Amino acid sequence: MTKILLTGANGGVGRRLRRLLPAFYPNLRLSDLTPPDDLQPHEEFVAADLADLAQVEAAVAGVDGIIHLGGLSTEYDWADILQSNIIGAYNLFEAARKHNVRRVVFPSSNQAVGFYPRHRRLGTDVTVRPSSRYGLSKAFGEAVAALYADKHGLRTLCIRIGRVHDLPEDERRLALWISPRDFVQLIRIGLEHPDIHFDLVYGLSSNDRSWYDNTRAYELGYSPEDRAEDHREHAMAEQAKLVRNPLADRFMGGRLCTVEYSGDLERSGT
């Protein structure tokens, strides 16, 4: 991998990755709507609106691999999700095909299966149960990744991220947290592992409370360095500041499941 494109470079996860990726991929192209205010000498920036295929093609041209963080990272109105996350995901994969990109890492979300109750333990072979329009867009992105892998040979790894952050921020994140350096390890598997065709893993550190079976990640050589439970005291102190929400606490998707909720609590997620 000579040149890597990182979309969504101005977001919180993108900024964390910019500090870690150069050790492995020193030739980085960044893309977002606006340039970062701290662009480094080893970084190149190409502005792109994901809903504009021509702009996406300009960002993609000449790269070997893509880490697609771009798009909206939580719930928004349908029109915004459609343009940024659904049309944007399609445009990213179509541009990659047209420009002969070899690999795409698609950071999906646990929100693609967010309406499963927390007493379940999920592998990657379950039916998607999105928490929200945002979760739906991530399920769509996973499907696009599978299509382009099977139909066009574009090797893809989808990573259902829980929460990329320096520390787990509350009790729920003790199940979902992934440290930035563990996330980079999964990204490297997606960009470099010889056996990747289309694969789906969960983006988690070594979390004792995890709701997910991440066997496939370990089969691909993933060996997380960080453990959520080591930060339990911090997470629970932050949890004590929060107001409990019984509906959010029932489902893996947490708060996003409660947005505009008018369902049958006894049937949702069953």
Q: Give the residue from 65, 56, 148, 69 showing the smallest Cα distance to 95.
A: 56
* Residue 86 burial (C-beta neighbours within 10 Å; 0-12, 13-18, 19+): buried
Residues in the chain, how many? 270
53-60 helix and 88-98 helix, angle to the nearest 10 degrees: 50
- Report the catalytic residues: 134
Element (H, E) at 269: none
Element (H, E) at 112: none
The angle formed by the CA atoms of residues 268, 79 and 59, to the nearest 5 degrees, is 115
Residue 219 CB neighbours (<10 A) = 11
Would you say the C-alpha torsion 4, 49, 86, 214 has a positive or negative sign? Answer: positive
Beta bridge partners of residue 105, listed in sequence order: 67, 157
Tokens matching residue 84: 């940024």
- In whole angstroms, give the CA distance from residue 199 to residue 80: 28
**Are the C-beta atoms of residues 105 and 190 closer than 8 Å to each other?**
yes
Give residues with Cβ within 8 angstroms of 149, minimum separation 6: 155, 156, 197, 198
